Amino acid sequence: MHIAFNGWFWDQPHTGSGQYLRNLLAALVECAPQHRYSLVVPPASRTLDHLPPDVDVLPVRMRLSGHLGKVWFEQRAFPAAVGRLGADLAHVPYWGPPLRSPAPVVCSVLDVIPLVIPAYRQGVGNRLYTSLVVAAVRGVAHLVTISEDARRDIAQHIGVPAERVTVTYLAAGKAFHHEPDRERDRAVSARYGLDDLDDFVLYLGSYAVHKNVRLLLAAYTYVAQVLGRDVPLVLAGHTPATWGTLRFPDLPAYIEEIGVGDVVRWIGPVHEADKPALYRLASVFVFPSRYEGFGLGPLEAMACGTPVVGCEASSVPEVVGDAAFLVDPEDSRAMGGAILALINQPDLALTMRNRGLARARDFSWRQTAEGTLAVYESLV
């Protein structure tokens, strides 16, 4: 069997789609090397690091740039490349399949954020693209998604029946483990200016509105009343070019408004290779998101032995089970209380650490690959 992958997000490992593509393709090559895998990418100037062995790469010319270039790649360049390759299947590992393809299309819909969060539908261009993608998704041979919650959302918002959607859970990568790597951990601590801290609470992710970081900041007003500046909140991740939009609320202004500036540290983007050490260094990882297709951050933190506080919303309870403290996504006091409980009660923190390690072991990229292969084999 020959499967051609849309590789648009290959060189964007900080995105969920990029992480998914890299981990899935590596696991497929490892557990089913008898098949042929091709990665269709925009021009070769894009980074192709961490490519699994024996994966063919086909760069295609780009006639357009920017957002229109992405649409052109999805709708014209990728299906044309599938035809030239003579692939048996085309796999688009994100929300963006072609309307027409010379081979059956499997599409991974990781979430339906544009359909459930109004901020992502602002502007004529976004609305047109969402309409195009919904029409294309309805016509693919089969959909793959990453949680039962996401499958329900697909049925509700796109109208694809459950029998055409397969759930394959994600997993923390092999690099995410709890065994200390003292040299690496010290280097990461110094790189991000955290080497003066014995304890800190970590948030790692986007600052988009659905990530609900305002709740965490409000929760820290309660944490700071008890702990003062001894246990700061470390905010990690790419910051937007412009704050104060519908998609990105003005968090710096909110920090100033509620008076927690002296207990918040921004460390900016974190290199993928540094994430495991950063999780291990943290005393608590907090994931306040209101909506996720899966929510990989909590699983990565648990695999690194870090207790997790999250919200009882969308797919998060499905992923973490009883291995994390879950609170109402509107209740900042409850979130603050959960953080304080884990900081101040070592026995409780140890219990949650052990639960988290066990929960993380329930997931593997091999299982994800095997579930995806079963979908392929049902179509060819």
Least confident of 23-32, 35-44, 139-148, 324-333: 35-44
* Predicted local distance difference test score (pLDDT) of residue 265: 98
The mean pLDDT of 91-117, rounded to a whole number, is 96
Superfamily for domain range 182-360 = Glycogen Phosphorylase B; (3.40.50.2000)
Q: How far apart are CA 227 and CA 336, in angstroms?
A: 11
Q: What is the mean pLDDT of residues 113-117?
A: 93
Q: How confident is the model at residue 184 (pLDDT cuts 50, 70, 90)?
A: very high
Confidence of residue 120 (pLDDT cuts 50, 70, 90): confident
Residue 66 confidence (pLDDT): 84
Return the amino acid letter for 42.
P
**Domain ranges for the chain:** 2-171+364-379, 182-360
328 band by pLDDT with thresholds 50, 70 and 90: very high
Exposed, middle or buried by CB within 10 Å (0-12, 13-18, 19+), for 93? buried
Structure tokens at 52: 């699994």
pLDDT band at 46 (very low <50, low <70, confident <90, very high): low
Q: Within 13 A of 271's CA, how many CA atoms are on the CB side?
A: 8
* Phi then psi dihedrals of residue 201, to 5 deg: -100, 135
What local confidence, expressed as pLDDT, does residue 148 receive? 97
Does the global pTM surpass 0.75? Answer: yes
Whether 43 contacts 61, CB under 8 Å: yes
pLDDT (mean) for 28-49: 88
As its CATH architecture, domain 2-171+364-379 has: 3-Layer(aba) Sandwich (3.40)
Query: How many whole angstroms separate alpha carbon 271 and alpha carbon 204?
Result: 11
Cα within 13 Å of Cα(210), Cβ side: 17
Residue pair 167/318 in contact (Cβ under 8 Å)? The answer is no
pLDDT tens digits along 217-273: 999 999 999 999 999 999 999 999 999 999 999 999 999 999 999 999 999 999 999
